[in-house]
Amino acid sequence: MLNRPSHAHVFLGGPIVGDSRRVGLAVAALALAVGLRAQDTGLEEGKFSVPDRIARMISPEYRKLDGARHRLEAALLELPSAPQNEQSARIGWKVFGFGDALPVRQWVEIDLGSAQAIDAIALIPVDAPTNSASEPGVGFPRRFRVELEDDGGSLAVIADFTGADFPNPGILPVLLPARGTMARRVRVVMSKPWGRNQYYTYALGEIMVLNGNRNLATGLTGVTVRTSGSLESAPAWSRENLIDGQSTVGAPLRKSGNKLAHGWQSAQFPSPTAVAWAQIDLGEIRRFDEVRLLPTKLTHYSVHQGYGFPGKIRVEVADDAAFVSSRVLADWTARVLDNPAFNPVTVPGDGIPARYVRVTATELWPRAENAWVFALAELQVYQGDKNVAFRAPVTASGAPTGESSNFRPDYLTDGMRGALELIEWPVWLGMLSRRRELLYEIAGVRARQAEIQPGLVRVLGWTLSSVVTLVVAGAILAFYRARRAQSLAVAALQRRIAGDLHDEIGSNLASIAMLSELGERQDVVGAARDLGEIRRLAKESSAAMRDLVWLIQPGPHDAPRLADRLRAAARRLLSGLEWQFEISGMDAAPSLDVQRHLLLALKEMLHNVLRHAGARQVEIHLTVRAGQFTLEVRDDGRGFDVSGPGGGHGFTSLRHRATLLQGQFTLESRPGHGTRVALTGLLRTAGEPTLRETK
């Protein structure tokens, strides 16, 4: 704790530092400590890192890496966010083992039944717990290759990641281009499993085989899947889950400015066995390839299930609206269809010609107690790459009812799910796969930046020690220069106060001496008059001395005390007159030199009122605003013509003060209408000393 004197001391120009040499040595020691600490290996390796802004200044490589990272992050903002996990109870396919129990080589093969043009293969990871880990991408193979085989047995390798570990994709898909290769079989051959703590596994959520806007793995009849091994634990794990269309990515959606449109919903029934249906009219008989049913997503009813998706369902087509003669595309009325969560359910059409497509529910979804419904977000019918059901007319059983206006029959073909717009698989998967690649690149840049951090810490340590040493030396030099400048400013203020003493007190004392000498020579009557003048001058001298002493004496010189001093001067000088004094906006005290000018200017203004105005009432206003003050004095005296001979020449001192205070002096008067004088200036002028206090 610092020892402080018991009495307040005011220094014009600030407190003198007791031991500047000790301060300089302490700061220099701190600089040396910074330099030595920067060489500590433990500090370099994780306890300290150079901020990005400084690292860019030090290292050209870091600056280049940081620029690349910013460009990658900007590109990332243009892509959709990773989808929330829309995975159903059907997670995917998995094999696992502990230690050496899992054969390293595993494979998965999808047979399309015939050769098809394949544009791309999408591998979708899973997000499921294991006995030793729970994270997105668990089980995704670390090394693998993807092969395409035609009917003749010829192989085309479209991706080979067997030479190095593949970065775990997390929840995002891996899209591999095939460029229209004709193939019947898609095979993923894996040679290094995902592992942790002696637990090793391969796992995939879905394998999508893209042709245009279609996923052939779900859109063709007769597609089969074979694996070298499989944990068959339905519904969560099964080889058949690889081609069921259900995965973490859900449906292909993007943000839209359209209004909220949940889809279509049937009336509410008191029994789950009620029958409800909806159908669309394609406008003409068409040969279409597949039908997609997209569940509604209302998470305030169910977080993990598609809202309103029925347990038993049938999809059929017909050429007539009454479905007198229909053909069934898919029938799940004999067994319960697992709720697909928020994934589309794809039904192969195989080119069957029809005009009408109907979806019938025979076991409804439990919306609430004794309330059963059937709801769908969208019904799509694809002919090649085009959804020919878009904006098609919708007819439904029963009255068109729903939870709100966000359910309507025409919303079943509007291309929306909620507030999101449906897009095509290649676009959606391409953007998500690109997002995965950008995240990997950003991680690589950050890893390289972390590698060069220790070297930057060493450079910064030596630089800081040198810079701080120079700064300390400069600070000491600046301190002494500032002390020199403040000493000069204090001397100037002292000279001004001495001038004030000479002008006010010296002049008065000279007048007193002269009057005393005259009094010795005059009669009693004249002597009495001179003695009265001597008494007046003595009082003024005493008051002036008190004011000047107040300016330089120890103690606070804050705004309230300045206001009291100004009011006291007015009270003393305007005795016998009616007067008022208003002060506004002076929350903080002006500098000491400005206080001196204010006090002396006010006294000079009031002296002029007393000597020349013949006034009965005087108004004084001191206003402070935006770092400036305005001192204004008004009287109701006789006034004078400021443009006449000698008009305003008696205010030379006030004009000079205005110049010193970087303000202006204003004089307004007319004969018989009184006088107004105003002085403006800065609350603190450049180069003047500040007032500081110690206790």
Do 54 and 155 reside in the same domain of the chain? Answer: no
Residue 207 to residues 120, 242, 503, 631, Cα–Cα distance (Å): 11, 6, 101, 86
Q: E strand or H helix at 406, and its extent? A: none
C-alpha closest to that of 571 among 542, 603, 549, 541 = 603
In the predicted structure, residue 611 carries a pLDDT above the cut 70 = yes
In the predicted structure, residue 62 carries a pLDDT above the cut 90 = yes
> pLDDT tens digit string along 123-170?
999 987 655 566 789 999 999 999 999 999 999 999 999 999 999 999
With tokens 């220790």, the residue in question is: 454
In the predicted structure, residue 585 carries a pLDDT above the cut 50 = yes
Task: Considering only residues 9 and 420, tell me which one the structure prediction assigns the higher pLDDT.
Answer: 420
- Contact status, residue 232 vs residue 242, Cβ threshold 8 Å: no
- Contact status, residue 223 vs residue 110, Cβ threshold 8 Å: yes
Position 432 confidence tier, pLDDT thresholds 50, 70, 90: very high
**Is residue 315 in a domain?**
yes
C-alpha closest to that of 608 among 653, 566, 567 = 653
> pLDDT tens digit string along 632-644?
999 999 988 888 7
In angstroms, the CA 653 to CA 639 distance is: 20
Q: Would you state the pLDDT for residue 304? A: 86
pTM for this entry: 0.64
**Is residue 68 in a domain?**
yes
- Kindly give the interhelix angle for 425-500 and 20-37, rounded to the nearest 10 degrees: 170
- Percent of the chain with pLDDT strictly greater than 90: 57
**Is residue 458 in a domain?**
yes
Do 226 and 272 reside in the same domain of the chain? Answer: no
- Contact status, residue 266 vs residue 394, Cβ threshold 8 Å: no
Do 261 and 406 reside in the same domain of the chain? Answer: yes
| Cβ within 8 Å of residue 467, ≥6 positions away | none
φ/ψ (deg, to 5) at 332: -115, 35
**Boundary of a domain, candidates 466, 485, 504:** 485
Do 60 and 100 reside in the same domain of the chain? Answer: no
Residue 308, SS3 per DSSP = coil
CB neighbours (10 Å) of residue 318?
Answer: 17
- Contact status, residue 284 vs residue 426, Cβ threshold 8 Å: no
- Kindly give the interhelix angle for 524-552 and 507-521, rounded to the nearest 10 degrees: 160
Residue 176 to residues 75, 82, 159, 161, 366, Cα–Cα distance (Å): 20, 18, 7, 12, 41
Do 609 and 673 reside in the same domain of the chain? Answer: yes
- Percent of the chain with pLDDT strictly greater than 70: 79
CB neighbours (10 Å) of residue 107?
Answer: 17
Residue 273, SS3 per DSSP = coil
> pLDDT tens digit string along 589-601?
888 888 888 888 9
Do 295 and 334 reside in the same domain of the chain? Answer: yes
**SS3 helix, strand, coil % of the chain, rounded to 5?**
35, 30, 35
Do 50 and 131 reside in the same domain of the chain? Answer: no
Do 102 and 224 reside in the same domain of the chain? Answer: yes
**Is residue 252 in a domain?**
no
Do 346 and 212 reside in the same domain of the chain? Answer: no
φ/ψ (deg, to 5) at 392: -70, 150
In the predicted structure, residue 689 carries a pLDDT above the cut 60 = no
Do 301 and 440 reside in the same domain of the chain? Answer: no
In the predicted structure, residue 42 carries a pLDDT above the cut 80 = no
| Cβ within 8 Å of residue 210, ≥6 positions away | 118, 119, 120, 121, 122, 216, 425, 426, 429
φ/ψ (deg, to 5) at 188: -110, 115
Q: What is the CATH number of the domain that holds 653?
A: 3.30.565.10
**Is residue 545 in a domain?**
no
With tokens 């991706």, the residue in question is: 159
Range 497-525 average pLDDT: 59
Q: Would you state the pLDDT for residue 47? A: 63
Q: Would you state the pLDDT for residue 523? A: 56
Residue 69, SS3 per DSSP = helix
Q: Structure tokens of 365?
A: 């979804």
In angstroms, the CA 225 to CA 214 distance is: 18
**Is residue 520 in a domain?**
no
Task: Considering only residues 613 and 217, tell me which one the structure prediction assigns the higher pLDDT.
Answer: 217
Range 49-74 average pLDDT: 93
**Boundary of a domain, candidates 470, 485, 500:** 485
**Is residue 2 in a domain?**
no
**Boundary of a domain, candidates 358, 378, 410:** 410
Do 261 and 239 reside in the same domain of the chain? Answer: no
Q: What is the CATH number of the domain that holds 385?
A: 2.60.120.260
Query: What's the number of domains the chain is made of?
Result: 4
Position 478 confidence tier, pLDDT thresholds 50, 70, 90: confident
**Is residue 363 in a domain?**
yes
In angstroms, the CA 313 to CA 331 distance is: 6
Range 507-529 average pLDDT: 59
Domain that holds residue 203: 93-243
Q: Is 567 exposed, middle or buried (0-12, 13-18, 19+ CB in 10 A)?
A: middle
Do 226 and 268 reside in the same domain of the chain? Answer: no
